[in-house]
Amino acid sequence: KTIEKWEPGTALDFSEGMADEDPESLSNWYEFDEKSGRLKYLIIDRLAAHFAKVHPALSIGGALYQYQGGVYRQLADDQIKMQIRQHLLPGKARVHSLNEALSLYKMLTFTEPDDTNNKPYLVNVKNGVLDLRSYKLHEHSPRLKSTIQIAAVYDPEAEAPRFRKYLEEVLDEDARHVLQEVAGYLVSGYSLAKKAFILTGVQSSGKSLFINTIEMLLGEDSCSHVALQDLGERFATAQLFGKTLN
């Protein structure tokens, strides 16, 4: 109930006329001559509709994010074309057909950027979706339009004695609590602080260790590395989309 009902990003429906018996049947998107059985033509609309149904995706700003492993992951156009090609008859894959199917697939899954990752109280982890309001773990679902997944498994019984010892060795109690709050803030989807967190201290005081630990926790796909002085450059902020840490 905490996850909204997922709906395609368009009201158009090209699935009419598709066979119900076998969703993978080529007859769903190929037209054959009833008498000779020879191929007449490919119905691109039906192929794209089938693809959008079995491969939930989000088309955001021209980039395609396909649902895999509980999260929407960005794929290159050529990767999608390779998937589409597997649904075509051998020797019948044409560049224009692949391009048309990809374009329709993107249209059918069009999504506004503001409609993704917009439930900060739901944290996507490896083994489900954690609701921070109740600390209940829900199963993954394509209904949650999430392009961010924490590279960790949620275990309510887990402890981190080595990490706690590290914090106690390098920080006083007040600073330790602040750093733990920062870590929790980065793991969550909240961005209300509108702050940049800067670690200061003498050399070899554990700053890099903390940063490396957070990057490992969040995962490579959730981190960007745009220098502070470069954020004012044109298109630089585009690299921050879907990232939890920079």
Burial class (CB in 10 A: 0-12, 13-18, 19+), 124: buried
Label residues 65-92 b or e (16+ Cβ within 10 Å = b): bbbeebbbbebeeeebbeebeebbeeee
Rounded to whole angstroms, the Cα distance separating 38 from 87 reads 18
Q: Look at residue 64 and give its three-state secondary structure.
A: strand
In this prediction, residues 1-26 reach a mean pLDDT of: 40
Sign of the alpha-carbon dihedral angle for 7, 11, 12, 14:
positive
96-125: per-residue pLDDT in tens? Answer: 989 999 999 999 999 999 999 889 889 999
Distance (Å, whole) CA 120 – CA 143: 15
- How is residue 144 written in tokens? 């949650």
Summarised one tens digit per residue, pLDDT across range 126-139 is 999 999 999 999 99
Tens digits of per-residue pLDDT, 189-205? 777 777 778 888 778 77
* 215-239 average pLDDT score: 79
